[in-house]
Amino acid sequence: MASVASGLTAELTARLSQVPGFRVTAGANALATADTSALPNPVAATPAAELVVDGTVRRERDRLRASVRILSVRTDSTAWAGVYEGSADSIFAFQSRIAEAASAALRGVRP
């Protein structure tokens, strides 16, 4: 499961880096497979950021479900969220679909 989350992080980083006016920091990769459930507030854990991408990836047999959020540090609120389901047999398409949706959403979000 860690490889799916790591791949999704890489895909999100690549897509979000292409959004004009936003900069994706390398530090985002550090939490890709970390257990952040111990963090009381993922937004507070990254004080230098204006927006934080947070999420989970779960698997049941051959099905995947990812929940992704874009969080505003300034307002300590969710600026965008999505839940995506897909097949474990087509992980690349699953990751790409999520990254594209987050990228499109980010174009409408201003920190």
SS3 track for 46-104: CCCCCEEEEEEEEEECCEEEEEEEEEECCCCEEEEEEEEEEEHHHHHHHHHHHHHHHHH
66 or 1, higher pLDDT? 66
Q: What is the DSSP letter of 40?
A: S
What is the domain count for the chain? 1
Asked whether the predicted pLDDT for residue 35 surpasses 70, the reply is: no
Q: State the distance between the two ends of the chain, measured CA to CA, in whole angstroms.
A: 31
pLDDT band at 68 (very low <50, low <70, confident <90, very high): very high
pLDDT of residue 59 exceeding 80? yes
pTM over 0.85: no
What region does 21 belong to: left with phi over 0, alpha with psi -120 to 50, or beta? left
Full residue range of the structural domain in which residue 73 is found = 2-107
For the chain, the average pLDDT equals 81
